């Protein structure tokens, strides 16, 4: 069984991969090209792809009958893989759920607090040597404790964010999802997204990517939000219509945004970069060594099960 890992991994994951498998680890940190993906499907039995490796329907059509029989995705999100086309070509797909939950929820809170309290803007002020000292009306931001937060998507990550908001900051939690959840804390189920958007101080996105959620947050949703509200996105960039968000921010329809993902990442609109009321992070949701190692081990667990002929731990 020949294994290809599409990106460099943490040392412990690479060491395990080399010890257990006939592995090739791609050194390039950029997404695989179309030709690289076709070669991977033709020459390897298992591939560990990740975000940006666009295994589209066209790739599988061009691949014909691939040698590869498993895409063990590194990451919980797999909207970059056309799962239906993969299965039609005889390729199973797995992911790494659970390993990313707490780290991603932590980044959501980082964005929420940083944007609300203007921390990024304040740091830039200090670094530029322009801070003239404390005074009673200096850089007044938005209070977080006790405010109302809306969570869009109440899966593992959404619930982890909601718990931090409820137990950590005494926030009133409301949420929108396909169905009401049995939760161990108070939270109001609001099935209508626009009603949720209109009722909260912070709107946090925690839905999967893909066709069903593309531009879920559009001009109409942003218009429904309060003038003082802040949007937080730790989901997938395409969940937000980026042009509509820029327009809403420029026209002060909302107070700010905290973003860890972008519609066309890593390309960044200059308009967003120039806005002081926007916090921009370089997709740091799972960026701790412990979490990335756990993700790598989970991906390799799926590989090991496949090689041994056992049931896949995390099929999608």
For the CA atoms of 95, 97, 103, 104, the dihedral, rounded to the nearest 10 degrees, stands at 80
Catalytic residue among 24, 43, 223, 265: 265
Q: Which helix (H) or strand (E) holds 156?
A: helix 156-163
Architecture, CATH, for domain 101-129+140-280? 3-Layer(aba) Sandwich (3.40)
199 has pLDDT over 90: yes
Name the DSSP letter for residue 165.
I
Q: What pLDDT was estimated at residue 82? A: 96
| 215 belongs to the catalytic site | no
Domains 2-99+288-308 and 101-129+140-280 share a fold: yes
DSSP string, 216-279: SB-HHHHHHS-TT-EEEE-S-GGGB-HHHHHHHHHTTSSSEEEES--TTTT---HHHHT-TTEE
Q: What pLDDT was estimated at residue 253? A: 97
Residue 261: pLDDT band with limits 50, 70, 90: very high
83 has pLDDT over 90: yes
Q: What is the mean predicted confidence (pLDDT) over 67-89? A: 96
Q: Which helix (H) or strand (E) holds 294?
A: helix 289-308
In the CATH hierarchy, which fold is given to the domain comprising 2-99+288-308?
A: Rossmann fold (3.40.50)
Residue 210: pLDDT band with limits 50, 70, 90: confident
Nearest to 110 by CA among 234, 200, 292: 234
| 178 belongs to the catalytic site | no
CA gap 197, 225 in Å, rounded = 5
pLDDT in tens, 227-243: 999 999 999 999 999 99
* Tokens, residue 195: 């009603």
CA gap 58, 22 in Å, rounded = 28
Q: What is the mean predicted confidence (pLDDT) over 133-152? A: 97
CB 240 within 8 Å of CB 217? yes
Q: What pLDDT was estimated at residue 91? A: 98
| 87 belongs to the catalytic site | no
User: Hey, where are the domains in the chain?
Assistant: 2-99+288-308, 101-129+140-280
pLDDT in tens, 15-67: 999 999 999 999 999 999 999 999 999 999 999 999 999 999 999 999 999 99
Residue 217: pLDDT band with limits 50, 70, 90: very high
CA torsion through residues 85, 87, 89, 95, sign: positive
98 has pLDDT over 90: no
Q: What is the mean predicted confidence (pLDDT) over 100-111? A: 97
CA gap 196, 166 in Å, rounded = 17
- The share of the chain scoring above pLDDT 70, in percent, equals 100
Mean pLDDT estimate for the chain: 97
- The share of the chain scoring above pLDDT 90, in percent, equals 97
Q: What is the mean predicted confidence (pLDDT) over 73-100? A: 95
pLDDT in tens, 283-296: 999 999 999 999 99
Catalytic residue among 118, 166, 236, 292: 236
pLDDT in tens, 143-171: 999 999 999 999 999 999 999 999 999 99
Q: What pLDDT was estimated at residue 123? A: 97
139 conformational bin, left if phi > 0, alpha if psi -120 to 50, beta if neither: left
Separation of CA 37 from chain center? 23
């Amino acid at each position: 069984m020949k294994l290809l890992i599409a990106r460099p991994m943490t040392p412990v994951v690479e060491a395990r991969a080399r010890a257990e498998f006939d592995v090739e680890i791609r050194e390039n940190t950029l997404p695989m090209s179309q030709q690289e993906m076709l070669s991977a499907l033709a020459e390897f039995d298992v591939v560990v792809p990740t975000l940006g490796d666009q295994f589209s329907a066209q790739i599988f059509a061009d691949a014909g009958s691939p040698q590869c029989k498993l895409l063990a995705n590194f990451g919980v999100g797999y909207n970059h893989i056309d799962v239906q086309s993969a299965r039609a070509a005889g390729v199973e797909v797995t992911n790494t759920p659970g390993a990313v939950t707490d780290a991603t929820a932590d980044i959501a809170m980082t964005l929420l607090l940083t944007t609300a309290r203007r921390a990024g803007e304040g740091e830039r002020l200090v670094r530029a040597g322009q801070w003239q000292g404390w005074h009673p009306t200096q850089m007044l931001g938005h209070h977080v404790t006790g405010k109302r937060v809306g969570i869009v998507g109440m899966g593992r990550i959404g619930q982890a964010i909601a718990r931090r908001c409820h137990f950590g900051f005494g926030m009133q939690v409301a949420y929108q999802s396909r169905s009401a959840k049995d939760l161990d804390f108070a939270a109001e189920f609001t099935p209508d997204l626009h009603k949720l958007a209109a009722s909260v101080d912070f709107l946090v996105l925690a839905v999967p990517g893909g066709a069903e959620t593309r531009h879920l947050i559009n001009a109409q949703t942003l218009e429904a939000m309060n003038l003082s509200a802040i949007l937080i996105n730790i989901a997938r960039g395409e969940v937000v219509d980026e042009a509509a968000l820029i327009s809403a921010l420029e026209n002060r329809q909302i107070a700010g945004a905290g973003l860890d993902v972008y519609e066309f990442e890593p390309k960044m609109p200059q308009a967003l970069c120039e806005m002081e009321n926007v916090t921009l992070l370089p997709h740091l949701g799972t960026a701790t060594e412990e979490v990335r190692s756990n993700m790598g081990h989970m991906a390799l667990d799926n590989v090991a099960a496949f090689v041994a002929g056992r049931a896949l731990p995390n099929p999608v």
